[in-house]
Amino acid sequence: MINIDPRNILASEFDYELPQEKIAKFPLNKRNLSKLLVYKNKKICEDVFSNIANYIPDNYLLVLNDTKVINARLEFYKDSGARIEIFCIEPHNPSEYSISFSQTKKCQWKCLVGNIKKWKNNFLSKKINLQNVEITLNAKLISNEKEFQIIEFEWNYHINFSEIIEKYGEIPIPPYLNRKPVASDKIRYQTVYSKIDGSVAAPTAGLHFTDNEFVELNKKNVSIDYLTLHVGAGTFIPLKNVKLGEHQMHTEHFQISLQLIKNLIKFYPKIIAVGTTSVRTLESLYYIGILLENNRKLEQISVNQWDAYNNKLKTEPLFALKSIKNYMLFNNLNELNASTSIMISPGYNFKFVLGLITNFHQPKSTLLALVTAMVGNNWKEIYDYALNNNFRFLSYGDSSILFSACP
């Protein structure tokens, strides 16, 4: 039973002092040699990530996010030399990721434009060389919305947009790294299992995995499955307001397979998520299941920020999963597309996730609020331990595995 209304929780509850020297500016040479903090039964110990399999019980299901970070930052220069940066957030027209990436003439994206005051002309143009052909890429400002701009990209050669940004774009490493991307970021700011283009930030909990960890997990009969949630720039937006209820969560799009739903039903409740993005997707399934229970023809499926705090919802988690399965079978769907802006914070009752693999997050962030929902006020002890024992923080930092209950 939820006893706390998260909307009244002060953002200061998730604050701590993070010295600049604790922020990892670059990854370690080897992914799986990052440190691992283990929190289980209200006790803390540490290890290295290459031993993660030792802390995941046999016959569990491990769920990872296989989204791939795109080269979302595009630079243009005016004749005056003024630099205009266009940061592609998500497709607008066409709005479906794979369709937008496959466009061969033009497409529109929701973007954040740096130095937009210098953009006074209708078009920005750039010559790029691709496949030994000089291509002109134009950017046109279609509209200036409250929180983003709609930009239309157009080019004069028959290649798709994914090739354009792959060649011309820049990997969008986090702003708090305070540096330009280097060549290695293109590899290291992706998980080894990244597959589906769409994110503008990496699901960083997965950056520590190598093939070796999956081999060891297989020996323990730990099943591996994937979902896809495209991480948006909103993941970096801090809790600026006094109360959580004043913070507007960003909407993120995700895709799940029928096979994942079947696996969740099979392994429930033995489920561990890799990353906060996986948690938010998995927990959103409960509310989607309720939504689809009596509506098998619903086309637009989304979870709102505060849906999770409706105390009148009594549906059992397994029933919600079966409702999704029945919806997908009824509509002949192998994949379900939906969106979520769910807020997970203290007072939230987890429906599916018993444990979480995650990095150490920024102060006053929604990510830390989610961690607090998992471990309670013990987050302070966990973070104090990490700060006092040379753990590296944020995207390229070290890892932790946190259990909400003893598996």
pLDDT tens, 59-99? 999 999 999 999 999 999 887 888 999 999 999 999 999 99
Q: What is the pLDDT of residues 231-262, one digit of tens each?
A: 988 877 888 878 999 999 989 999 999 999 99
pTM of model > 0.85: yes
Pick the residue with more confidence: 56 or 2?
A: 56
Q: 301-312: b or e for each residue (b if 16 or more CB lie within 10 Å)?
A: bbbebbbbbeee
Q: What is the pLDDT of residues 329-359, one digit of tens each?
A: 999 999 999 999 999 999 899 999 999 999 9
Q: Is 17 helix (H, G, I), strand (E, B) or coil?
A: coil
Whole-number Å distance between alpha carbons of 306 and 219: 40
Indicate whether 406 pLDDT > 60. Answer: no
Q: What's residue 405's pLDDT?
A: 58
Whole-number Å distance between alpha carbons of 258 and 261: 5
Q: What are the domain boundaries of the chain?
A: 6-68+188-403, 72-170
- CATH tag, 6-68+188-403: 3.40.1780.10
Indicate whether 321 pLDDT > 60. Answer: yes
Q: 22-56: b or e for each residue (b if 16 or more CB lie within 10 Å)?
A: bbbbebbeebbebbbbbbbeeebeeeebbebbebb
Q: What is the pLDDT of residues 154-206, one digit of tens each?
A: 999 889 999 999 988 999 999 899 999 999 999 999 999 999 999 999 999 99
Pick the residue with more confidence: 310 or 177?
A: 177
DSSP code at position 260: H
